[in-house]
Amino acid sequence: MNRQAQAVILFLVGVAVLRAGFTDLYLRYVKAGLQPLLLLAGVVLIAAAAATLWYGRRRPRTAGGDEPEPHEGHEGGHVHREPRVSWLLVLPLVALILVAPPALGSYSAMRAGTALQEAPWGYPKLPAGDPLRLELADYAGRAVYDHGRSLGDRHVKLTGFLALDEHGTAYLVRMTLNCCAADAQPVKVGLSGELPPVLRPDTWLEVTGTYTGKQVKDPVNDGVIPFLKATEARPVKAPRDPYDESLNG
C-alpha cells in the first residue's frame, strides 16, 4: 500500500473516531468517561494522515511525476504497483462512518453469564419514594446478596431490554462495561407476575414490581439470577447510553 492510500485510511479512521466521539455513537463502543480520549485519538489519527501525505509529497518523484515505492518484487528497476482492488479496504471505514451499529442485545446477553459474581461490603439505605427507580444492577445485588432486606415490600422501577431463554422465561437485562463493548457482561433479572401478552426480545421495558425470593442459576456461569414480581410493564425508548456502568463505579 502506497503512502497516499495509508494517508486516506488514517484520515477515514480519524473521521470515524471523531464522528463517534462528538455524537452518542461512541456510547455503543466505550464507557462515557472515555470520550475525551476518543476525541484525542481522532485528532492524532487525522494529524498522522496529514503528516503521511506531506512526507510523501516531499520525496523525490520520477520523471513521469509518479512517486517510486520500494517493493519486495522490484526487479531490474521496474516498480510493481499495488492493485486498485486494495482501495476496497476503505469501504468498511466508510460504512463505519455512515452506519451506526446497534448496541449489544438479547443474543449476546443470553450467551454470557450474569455479572453478579462478588458480594459487596454492604448496601446503603434506599431513599424515600414509592415506586422507587433503581438501576437494574442495584436491584439484582440487593436481591441476591442482601436477600431483599433493604428492599422489603417496596415497589421499584427497573429499566432494561427483554431477553428470553430457551424455555420462554423472560429476563430484564442491562449490559455492563469495564472499558468497552468488547468486555460487556449482562446483569439479568428474571420477571414474573404481570407481563405483556407478547414478549419481543430486545424491547426496552420499564417494569414496576416488588422483591421476590425466587432465584435461578445462570446456565452459562452458575451465577445467581434474582426475580422481580412485576405489577406493571410498559415499553419505553432505549436510553441514550444503553450500557450500565453502576457495577464499575
| Domain residue spans of the chain | 3-101, 107-248
Gap between the Cα atoms of 125 and 74, Å rounded: 74
Does the structure show a pLDDT above 80 at 218? yes
Q: What is the pLDDT of residue 74?
A: 47
How far is the CA of 127 from the CAs of 120, 124, 137, 158, in angstroms? 19, 9, 17, 15
Average pLDDT over residues 38-53: 80
Gap between the Cα atoms of 122 and 137, Å rounded: 14
Does the structure show a pLDDT above 50 at 73? no
Q: What is the pLDDT of residue 164?
A: 95
If we measure between CA atoms, which residue out of 248, 19, 15 comes closest to residue 116?
248
Q: What is the pLDDT of residue 91?
A: 67
Backbone angles phi, psi at 38, to 5 degrees: -65, -45
Does the structure show a pLDDT above 60 at 134? yes
| Peptide bond between residue 68 and the one before it cis (omega within 30 degrees of 0) | no
Please identify which residue in the block is written with the cell numbers 464507557.
31
How far is the CA of 105 from the CAs of 113, 181, 206, 230, 245, in angstroms? 14, 11, 16, 22, 16
The highest-level CATH class for domain 107-248 is mainly beta
Average pLDDT over residues 212-233: 94
- Provide, rounded to the nearest whole percent, the portion of the chain with pLDDT above 90: 36
Please identify which residue in the block is written with the cell numbers 453502576.
246
Gap between the Cα atoms of 243 and 220, Å rounded: 21
Task: Name the DSSP letter for residue 23.
Answer: S
CA-atom Rg of the chain in angstroms: 26
Q: What is the pLDDT of residue 128?
A: 86
Lowest mean pLDDT among 4-8, 43-47, 71-75, 214-218: 71-75
For the entire predicted model, the pTM comes to 0.66
The per-residue DSSP string of 130-165 comes to SSEE--HHHHHHHHHHSTTTTTTT--EEEEEEEEE-
Q: What is the pLDDT of residue 203?
A: 94
Average pLDDT over residues 75-82: 52
Does the structure show a pLDDT above 80 at 77? no
Q: What is the pLDDT of residue 235?
A: 94
Gap between the Cα atoms of 173 and 211, Å rounded: 16
Average pLDDT over residues 72-87: 54
Gap between the Cα atoms of 245 and 184, Å rounded: 10
Is the four-CA dihedral 137, 142, 148, 151 of positive or negative sign? negative
Most confident of 16-25, 73-82, 141-150, 233-242: 141-150
Q: Residue 209 CB: number of other CB atoms within 10 A?
A: 25
Higher pLDDT, 80 or 181: 181
Mean of all residue pLDDT scores within the chain: 79
Q: What is the pLDDT of residue 249?
A: 43
